């Protein structure tokens, strides 16, 4: 890379580095000469006054430079024949790039050229020409390659070596065909034959890099006579990135047009004078005109009279801000009064700026707002009866509202709390303020507090306005005293089960992700191990007898997929000494360290009769945990329920067998399906979604039931499971 040097006097650019001996020519935005240095005068014989304001092609008609392409950012490099003022033919190599001023604005084109005549035509200055040619090789940003007529690479610059993916010295001596991609070899061969026949050629070739990648390059090549015979001089440019950008641009344009057509709003593309150049199907349906008949019309003539005055306002604003929208009310041909949002966006296209104008109906939204206002009293009454505490705060954490039947137990009145800080109710606790602060920054927070010997669990979320702006915090707190009592009892029970696990006279193990993660002493003994830790981490498939493996793996998969236990079955497992133990195996769904797992029970068939009663007792305890839970519990995947306890079936009024496999959406009334479907899609995408909320469900007899729901999500393999705990809301 050239060392950055100060610009020469007279050059109106800031991004130019010039070496001594360079021919420097500057062009304006129309490609006319505005600078011609002393080296240009000496080499070409023209004084600056003779060429000023002339187009470059007027002096170099064969140079091939395209002004628009260079101004657009595509640098140019090529060798060509040029005539001096004295009609003497010389060879020039020209490099051109867009010139920029101090503010990075493109102000024209800078051309840097070198006289390479001594290299191509033997003269007394051949040695000096060789030096200049080597300088050209080093400085050119394009790949420059010198090739023999037999296709052997004689010289290459750094840019050419980078295209090949190796160091320059490893390219020298290689045959050109070694770098041609096999799929395009015939095209490259035709290119080479035409070059040798015509003396010059240009086109695109697909090459293979030594690093394994394929690259599309543009090649301009000429067959020239040099002191050492005929040589092919080729200048190559990597078009791979450009082609990728072109494909990306095409894909973006296709997606834009799909969105333009499918958007549930009337959309128009207009010129700055308001002439419609495109309209989607929705626009035609909204105004009763075929979209193709809208093309060429003025948008102001298509819109209803009471919407037309909005257009000049939009135009005035978007020319300054590029985007604006407004709300209007109008009557359509059907005579009904409707509300619309009309907006315009100014964006730049390659040829000219265009305006995207959209119109979408918000009548239902506005009517819903009116209905909401009518039912505000009923809503407040409902909130006051909810068996929880519901509150909202402003950005300073002062109560805006607080409701719920629980407030009556604390002798707290909603009206008296408005405007007071959250510390007046929850106390000045760090965890309370931290949770509210997280919600105010767009997250969610949880905390617990106690009042009158009761424990409450609270969750806070951001409170947003209609346009999504953060207004404050909304929170819900529920009495979890009874749940904590049950949790404590469950913890004690689990400790007892742990003792049972370690001392049980049958083999008990836990499988997770296809490996043993837990096993008791008896299980280790059955497999010939003294220490259970020796088995931890062993692959289940490797331990199975080859004849049993397919059948057993399928059984285990069904346990995880359906959440149901498998019946006892004989299986052969490899012992430590390599022999196989014949065991009766039973597997049930299990949760280990908060993740799905499989609990496996094994016993020697010789003791089968004695262990049968013990295994049944263990399963009774496991079932008792699920069935004694105070919640209705269900597990769903791909929209269907794969497990539910009896309490779940009772809440919805079904038999348990009717619930398994049922789409969960069928248990929701229509007005709740969209909201909960949105929560589910967010969870599946890994985005934040409420885990605790109230909703309305639909029972088998068609009646609605308000419930509290706690939902969590986990993944087994590539399948996502949604586990829900549901408790009916008790109406006072």
In a domain, 645, yes or no: yes
For 645-730, where are the E strands, in sequence order? 692-698, 704-716, 719-728
In a domain, 70, yes or no: yes
Residue 462 token pair: 């951001």
State the CB neighbour count (10 A cutoff) for residue 556: 18
Bridge partners of 39, per DSSP, are none
Q: What are the tens digits of pLDDT across the range 367-401?
A: 665 565 555 455 455 555 556 888 899 988 998 88
Last residue of a domain, one of 366, 388, 408: 366
Same domain, 527 and 591: yes
What sign does the dihedral 598-602-608-610 (CA atoms) show? negative
Q: How far is CA 547 from CA 81, 263, 509, 541, 550, in A?
A: 80, 57, 22, 11, 7
Q: Is pTM, for the whole model, over 0.85?
A: no
Quick one: pLDDT at residue 122? 46
Give CA–CA dist 498/493, Å, rounded: 9
What phi and psi, each to the nearest 5 degrees, are found at residue 614?
Answer: -65, -40
Furthest CA-CA distance within the chain: 116
Same domain, 680 and 700: yes
In a domain, 253, yes or no: no
Q: How far is CA 664 from CA 451, 630, 634, 667, 672, in A?
A: 37, 21, 10, 5, 12
Bridge partners of 234, per DSSP, are 145, 221
* Closest by Cα among 708, 629, 627, 695 to 665: 695
> Please, what is the angle between helix 481-503 and helix 608-628, to 10°?
170
Q: How far is CA 531 from CA 40, 526, 536, 600, 604, in A?
A: 90, 11, 10, 18, 18
Give CA–CA dist 637/556, Å, rounded: 17
In a domain, 254, yes or no: no
Q: What is the DSSP string of 446-462?
A: EEEEEETTEEEEEEEEE
Give CA–CA dist 402/388, Å, rounded: 10
In a domain, 258, yes or no: no
DSSP letter (8 states) at residue 411: T
Neighbour-count burial for 8-38, b at 16+ CB within 10 Å, e otherwise: eeebbbeebebeeebbbbbbbeebbbbbbbe
Query: Token match 């000045």: residue?
Result: 428
Bridge partners of 634, per DSSP, are 644, 724
Same domain, 16 and 133: yes
Q: Where are the alpha helices (DSSP H) in 104-239?
A: 117-120, 126-139, 158-164, 168-171, 185-198
Same domain, 195 and 270: no
Burial of 234 from C-beta contacts in 10 A (0-12 / 13-18 / 19+): buried
Q: What is the CATH number of the domain that holds 86?
A: 3.30.450.20
Taking a C-beta distance cutoff of 8 angstroms, is the pair 242, 217 a contact? no
Same domain, 185 and 175: yes
Give CA–CA dist 181/204, Å, rounded: 12
State the CB neighbour count (10 A cutoff) for residue 147: 21
User: By three-state DSSP, how is residue 52 classified?
Assistant: coil
Cα atoms found within 13 Å of the Cα of residue 320, Cβ hemisphere only: 4
Burial of 63 from C-beta contacts in 10 A (0-12 / 13-18 / 19+): buried
Neighbour-count burial for 428-444, b at 16+ CB within 10 Å, e otherwise: eeeebbebbebbbeeeb
Q: How far is CA 730 from CA 15, 33, 406, 708, 721, in A?
A: 75, 87, 13, 10, 28
In a domain, 354, yes or no: yes
Residue 550 token pair: 């397919």
Bridge partners of 133, per DSSP, are none
Quick one: pLDDT at residue 336? 73
Taking a C-beta distance cutoff of 8 angstroms, is the pair 687, 675 a contact? no
Give CA–CA dist 147/231, Å, rounded: 6
In a domain, 255, yes or no: no
Find the helix or strand (DSSP H, E) in which 343 lies: strand 337-348
Residue 484 token pair: 């904590």
Q: What are the tens digits of pLDDT across the range 560-579?
A: 888 888 888 888 889 989 89
Same domain, 637 and 680: yes
Same domain, 47 and 61: yes
**How many distinct structural domains can be found in the chain?**
6
Task: Look up the domain containing 358 and give its range.
Answer: 263-366
Give CA–CA dist 38/130, Å, rounded: 23
Same domain, 624 and 582: yes
Same domain, 468 and 597: no
Same domain, 572 and 641: no
Last residue of a domain, one of 184, 209, 242: 242
Give CA–CA dist 507/571, Å, rounded: 13
Taking a C-beta distance cutoff of 8 angstroms, is the pair 694, 707 a contact? yes
Taking a C-beta distance cutoff of 8 angstroms, is the pair 62, 38 a contact? no
Neighbour-count burial for 558-591, b at 16+ CB within 10 Å, e otherwise: ebbebbebbebeebbbbeeeeeebebbbbbbbbe
Find the helix or strand (DSSP H, E) in which 204 lies: strand 200-208
Query: Token match 């104008």: residue?
Result: 357
User: By three-state DSSP, how is residue 104 classified?
Assistant: coil
Residue 598 token pair: 């499989």
Give CA–CA dist 369/339, Å, rounded: 12
CA angle 15, 16, 17 (to 5 degrees): 125
Taking a C-beta distance cutoff of 8 angstroms, is the pair 199, 220 a contact? no
Q: How far is CA 139 from CA 109, 209, 615, 695, in A?
A: 18, 22, 82, 70
pLDDT < 50 regions, the chain? 1-10, 119-127, 129, 376, 379, 609-612, 615, 618
Quick one: pLDDT at residue 274? 81
Secondary structure of 215-235 in the HEC alphabet?
Answer: EEEEEEEEEEEECCEEEEEEE
Residue 211 token pair: 């690093």
Last residue of a domain, one of 451, 479, 507: 479
User: By three-state DSSP, how is residue 64 classified?
Assistant: coil
Same domain, 37 and 10: yes
User: By three-state DSSP, how is residue 442 classified?
Assistant: coil
In a domain, 50, yes or no: yes
Query: Token match 């939009």: residue?
Result: 314
Q: How far apart are the first and last CA of the chain?
A: 81
Same domain, 494 and 433: no
CA angle 678, 682, 685 (to 5 degrees): 140
Counting every residue written for the chain, the total comes to: 732
DSSP letter (8 states) at residue 679: H
């Amino acid at each position: 890379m050239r060392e950055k040097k100060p610009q020469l006097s007279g050059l109106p650019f800031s991004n130019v580095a010039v070496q001594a001996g360079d021919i420097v020519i500057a062009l304006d935005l129309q490609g006319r000469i505005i600078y011609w240095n002393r080296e240009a005068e000496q080499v070409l014989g023209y004084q600056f006054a003779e060429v000023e304001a002339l187009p470059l092609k007027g002096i170099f008609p064969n140079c091939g430079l395209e002004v628009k392409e260079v101004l657009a950012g595509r640098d140019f490099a090529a060798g060509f024949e040029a005539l001096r003022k004295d009609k003497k033919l010389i060879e020039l190599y020209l490099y051109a790039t867009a010139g920029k001023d101090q503010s990075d604005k493109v102000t024209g084109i800078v051309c840097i050229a070198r006289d390479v005549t001594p290299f191509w035509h033997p003269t007394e200055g051949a040695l000096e020409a060789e030096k200049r040619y080597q300088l050209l090789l080093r400085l050119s940003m394009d790949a420059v390659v010198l090739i023999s007529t037999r296709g052997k690479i004689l010289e290459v610059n750094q840019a050419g070596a980078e295209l090949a993916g190796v160091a320059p010295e490893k390219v020298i001596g290689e045959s050109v065909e070694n770098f041609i991609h096999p799929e395009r070899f015939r095209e490259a061969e035709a290119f080479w034959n035409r070059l040798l026949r015509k003396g010059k050629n240009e086109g695109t070739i697909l090459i293979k890099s030594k690093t394994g990648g394929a690259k599309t390059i543009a090649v301009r090549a000429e067959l020239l006579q040099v002191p050492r015979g005929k040589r092919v001089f080729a200048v190559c440019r990597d078009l791979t990135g450009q082609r990728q950008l072109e494909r990306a641009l095409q894909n973006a344009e296709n997606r834009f047009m799909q969105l333009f057509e499918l958007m549930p709003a009337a959309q128009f593309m207009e010129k700055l004078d308001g002439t419609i150049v495109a309209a989607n199907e929705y626009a035609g349906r909204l105004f009763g005109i075929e979209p193709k008949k809208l093309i060429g019309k003025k948008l102001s003539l298509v819109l209803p009279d009471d919407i037309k005055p909005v257009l000049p306002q939009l135009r005035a604003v978007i020319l300054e801000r590029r985007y604006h929208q407004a709300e209007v009310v109008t009557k359509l041909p059907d005579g009904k009064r409707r509300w619309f949002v009309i907006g315009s966006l100014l964006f730049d296209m390659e040829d000219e700026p265009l305006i995207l104008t959209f119109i979408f109906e918000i009548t239902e939204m506005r009517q819903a707002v009116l209905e909401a206002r009518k039912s505000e009293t009923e809503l407040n009454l409902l909130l006051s009866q909810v068996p929880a505490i519901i509150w909202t705060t402003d950005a300073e954490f002062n109560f805006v509202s607080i409701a719920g039947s629980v407030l009556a137990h604390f002798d707290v009145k909603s009206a008296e709390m408005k405007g007071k800080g959250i510390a007046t109710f929850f106390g000045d606790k760090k965890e309370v303020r931290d949770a509210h602060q997280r919600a105010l920054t767009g997250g969610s927070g949880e905390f617990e507090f106690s009042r009158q010997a009761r424990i409450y669990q609270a969750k806070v979320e951001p409170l947003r306005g209609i346009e999504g702006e953060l207004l404050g915090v909304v929170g819900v707190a529920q009495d979890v005293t009874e749940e904590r009592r049950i949790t404590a009892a469950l913890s004690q029970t689990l400790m007892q089960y742990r003792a049972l696990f370690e001392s049980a006279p049958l083999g008990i193990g836990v499988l997770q992700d296809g490996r043993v993660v837990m096993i008791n002493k008896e299980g280790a003994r059955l497999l010939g191990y003294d220490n259970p830790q020796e088995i931890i981490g062993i692959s289940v498939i490797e331990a199975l007898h080859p004849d049993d493996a397919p059948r057993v793996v399928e059984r285990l998969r069904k346990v995880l997929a359906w959440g149901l236990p498998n019946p006892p079955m004989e299986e052969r497992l490899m012992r430590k000494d390599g022999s196989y133990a014949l065991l009766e195996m039973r597997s049930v769904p299990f949760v280990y360290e908060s993740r799905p797992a499989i609990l496996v029970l094994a016993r020697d068939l010789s003791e089968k009769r004695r262990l049968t009663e013990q295994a049944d007792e263990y399963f009774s305890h496991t079932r008792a945990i699920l069935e004694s839970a105070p919640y209705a519990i269900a597990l769903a995947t791909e929209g269907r329920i794969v497990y539910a306890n009896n309490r779940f079936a009772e809440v919805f009024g079904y038999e348990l067998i009717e619930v398994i496999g049922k789409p969960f959406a069928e248990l929701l009334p229509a007005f709740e399906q969209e909201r909960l479907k949105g929560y589910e899609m967010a969870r599946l995408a890994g985005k934040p979604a409420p885990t605790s909320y109230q909703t309305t469900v639909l029972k088998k007899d068609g009646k609605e039931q308000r419930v509290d729901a706690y939902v969590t999500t986990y993944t087994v393999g590539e399948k996502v499971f949604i586990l829900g705990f549901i408790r009916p809301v008790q109406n006072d």
